[in-house]
């Protein structure tokens, strides 16, 4: 049974800051003790490089590192461990896909179909892919609540030019869960590949890439209770086989010659030049085991419960405008009427409440929702309804004077 108090005990950040209400897990999540212990254990007991040492400690750590590919593959339903590429985070995964698409999968006149809801990491690389290939960017029309509409999406394929679809599974500002399975089905019917930004989805939902039939999925460990500096690119094996590494160097080549010829390692090692974030991989494994011990269905249900509860409470207040009523993944985005978002956040900060304000790296979203700056409260399994109640009480009593005082 889901027991939030027991879960809270697993997180040193919560034990060490008992009065803090942390509502910025969309930026990065707290880490449970088992993840921290694993990282410390690596440095205290297993500190060796992988695949490079002829001694026991290196063998041991290499094996755990290699085996973790299967842990990740099983976690997201990937067909085989070789479909899992270790990267430095969602941003580096998304760049790997887009840079390759620009070189290999796109040509002049093709269309990259995306949206104005995208995080910078899922749009700037596509701008570059368009520049490199001569393809053009097309945005799916959304209503003013940034709600995804499958009919509008399908219309975007009418000229048969869409070759790549790049969308999030969960928007980092709106918190909506996109209908990825249908998105992929329609794209494939029109011969397009689909790259999904899973940064805000994998930490909160049960994701099954085989069932979704998605071509690429990118995500970061640090948003899913794991260490920073490590991310995952899932790709269908035959697509990964066609792609080139972004970086070249040690570990990713089998041989090279004076004439510049490089014989790369097999997929996925060919993408992983240089010493990777070893402790990050070990910690990610623990984070996955931890999430699985709770159960991803329970994690998802709890995220929905918190979002629904928070939005319902906020909607009872006269001084608040909520922008994402349909949010389901623990993300609630709102403003206090007549108060600049950052001023409100400074006031909340003085009361021990951590939120994020601004455009949340989604710098085109204001064209859709017609608001530049918002307050985003993003939650994870360690947040509680009591925290929401305390925050809602603060919001109810927030005035412009209190906010200005806290800024001065």
Residues involved in catalysis: 361
User: In terms of CB distance, is 91 or 335 closer to ligand PLP?
Assistant: 91
Check residue 122 for interaction with ligand PLP (CB under 6 A): yes
Cα distance between residue 127 and residue 113, in whole Å: 11
Closest separation between CB of residue 58 and ligand PLP, Å? Answer: 28
Q: Which of 168, 203, 283, 330 binds ligand PLP (CB under 6 A)?
A: 168
Cα distance between residue 255 and residue 270, in whole Å: 12
Nearest C-alpha neighbor of 36 from the set 295, 284, 299: 284
b/e burial code for range 309-337 (CB count within 10 A of at least 16 → b)? bbbebbeebeebebbbbebbbbbbbbbbe
Q: How many CB atoms lie within 10 A of CB 54?
A: 6
Sign of the CA dihedral with 293 first, then 32, 92, and 107 last: positive
Size of the site for ligand PLP (CB under 6 A): 12
Check residue 90 for interaction with ligand PLP (CB under 6 A): yes
Backbone angles phi, psi at 60, to 5 degrees: -65, -45
- Candidate segments 8-16, 116-124, 313-321, 390-398, binder of ligand PLP by CB under 6 A: 116-124
Q: Which of 71, 116, 220, 383 binds ligand PLP (CB under 6 A)?
A: 220
- The residues, any chain, with a CB within 8 Å of residue 303's CB and separated by 6 or more, are 204, 205, 328, 329, 330, 379, 380, 381
User: In terms of CB distance, is 95 or 398 closer to ligand PLP?
Assistant: 95
Closest separation between CB of residue 318 and ligand PLP, Å? Answer: 31
Check residue 199 for interaction with ligand PLP (CB under 6 A): yes
Cα distance between residue 252 and residue 271, in whole Å: 6
The residue to which tokens 């809270």 are assigned: 8
User: Rule CB under 6 A: which of 283-302 touch ligand PLP?
Assistant: none
- Candidate segments 52-60, 115-123, 155-163, 266-274, binder of ligand PLP by CB under 6 A: 115-123
Cα distance between residue 372 and residue 279, in whole Å: 38
User: In terms of CB distance, is 86 or 347 closer to ligand PLP?
Assistant: 86
Q: Which of 31, 69, 119, 380 binds ligand PLP (CB under 6 A)?
A: 119
Closest separation between CB of residue 200 and ligand PLP, Å? Answer: 5
User: In terms of CB distance, is 200 or 383 closer to ligand PLP?
Assistant: 200
Check residue 268 for interaction with ligand PLP (CB under 6 A): no
Structure tokens of 247?
């970086």
Check residue 25 for interaction with ligand PLP (CB under 6 A): no
Closest separation between CB of residue 31 and ligand PLP, Å? Answer: 14
The binding site for ligand PLP (CB under 6 A) comprises: 89-91, 119, 121-122, 168, 172, 197, 199-200, 220
């Amino acid at each position: 049974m889901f027991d939030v108090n027991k879960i809270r005990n697993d997180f040193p950040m919560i034990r060490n800051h008992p009065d803090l209400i942390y509502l910025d897990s969309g930026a990065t999540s707290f880490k449970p003790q088992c993840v921290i212990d694993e990282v410390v254990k690596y440095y205290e007991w297993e500190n060796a490089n992988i695949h490079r040492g002829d001694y026991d400690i290196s063998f041991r750590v290499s094996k755990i590192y290699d085996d973790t590919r299967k842990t990740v593959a099983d976690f997201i339903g990937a067909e085989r461990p070789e479909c899992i590429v270790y990267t430095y985070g969602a941003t580096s995964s998304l760049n790997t896909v887009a840079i390759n698409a620009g070189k290999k999968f796109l040509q002049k006149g093709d269309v990259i179909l995306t949206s104005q809801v995208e995080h910078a990491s899922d749009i700037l690389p596509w701008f570059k892919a368009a520049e490199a290939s001569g393809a053009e960017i097309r945005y799916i029309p959304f209503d003013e609540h940034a709600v995804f509409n499958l009919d509008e999406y399908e219309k975007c394929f009418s000229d048969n030019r869409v070759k790549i679809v790049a969308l999030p599974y969960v928007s980092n500002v709106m918190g909506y869960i996109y209908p990825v399975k249908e998105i992929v089905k329609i794209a494939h019917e029109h011969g397009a590949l689909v790259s999904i930004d899973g940064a805000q989805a994998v930490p909160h939902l049960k994701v099954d890439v085989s069932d979704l039939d998605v071509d690429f999925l990118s995500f970061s460990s640090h948003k899913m209770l794991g260490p920073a500096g490590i991310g995952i690119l899932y790709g269908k094996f035959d697509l990964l086989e066609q792609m080139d590494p972004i970086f070249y160097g040690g570990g990713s080549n089998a041989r090279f010659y004076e004439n510049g010829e490089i014989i790369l390692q097999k997929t996925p090692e060919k993408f992983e030049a240089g010493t990777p974030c070893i402790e990050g991989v070990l910690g990610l494994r623990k984070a996955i085991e931890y999430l699985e011990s709770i159960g991803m269905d329970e994690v998802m249900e709890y995220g929905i419960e918190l979002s629904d509860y928070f939005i319902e409470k906020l909607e009872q207040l006269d001084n608040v405008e909520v922008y994402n009523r349909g949010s389901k993944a623990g993300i609630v985005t709102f403003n206090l009427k007549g108060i600049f978002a950052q001023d409100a956040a400074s006031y909340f900060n003085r009361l021990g409440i951590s939120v994020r304000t601004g455009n949340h790296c989604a710098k085109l979203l204001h064209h859709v929702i017609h608001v530049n700056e918002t307050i985003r409260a993003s939650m994870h399994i360690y947040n509680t309804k009591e925290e929401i109640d305390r925050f809602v009480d603060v919001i109810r009593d927030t005035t412009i004077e209190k906010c200005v005082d806290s800024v001065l």
